[in-house]
Amino acid sequence: MKRRIRVVLIVGLVFSLFASSTAFAVTKTRLQSTAETCIGITTAVDGGKQDLDETSLHGYVISYQTSTGTATLVGRMFTKGVIFTYSRDYAVVSPGGYDYLYWANPNGDTGTYWSEVQAAAGNHNGECVVYQ
């Protein structure tokens, strides 16, 4: 009987420790910069700046099926440190198309990052998203 109580107590203790550590697990929120454009807009649209940590950047450019004509949509990934701004990657897509963006951040740069999208002919519904 004492052995059974001891086993039940140990199992209960292990379960409660696991449950409490899972409940208080810290997760990193994924911040992203999303630049959206629609038919009729011909200027570049900025997706808003986010803090750049020392990891790589990922993203995509997509032109939705509702886009018209044959002109292209350009999506860009930018970073800025203390002084300089850099275009890290870009993609050019046709109406209804998509492509991916990536920058490895080999030197562990910090600062800010953002996305930009432009349909110079004003014929796209689409977006450029950049995230860490």
Query: Per-residue b/e over 75-101, b at no fewer than 16 CB within 10 Å?
Result: bbbbbeeeeeeeebbebebebebbbeb
| Boundaries of domain holding 66 | 32-131
CB 123 within 8 A of CB 95: yes
What is the pLDDT, as a whole number, of residue 31? 87
127 located within any domain: yes
Find the CATH number of the domain harbouring 97. 2.60.120.20
Residue 57 included in any domain: yes
| Within-domain flag for 13 | no
Q: Is residue 11 part of a domain?
A: no
Residue 26 belongs to some domain of the structure: no
In a domain, 82, yes or no: yes
The count of domains in the chain is: 1
Q: Tell whether 18 is covered by a domain.
A: no
Is 112 among the domain residues? yes
pLDDT, one tens digit for every residue, the chain (132 residues): 555 555 444 545 444 544 444 444 455 567 899 999 999 999 999 999 999 999 999 999 999 988 988 999 999 999 999 999 999 999 999 999 999 999 999 999 999 999 999 999 999 999 999 999
CA-CA distance, 63 to 74, in Å (whole number)?
9
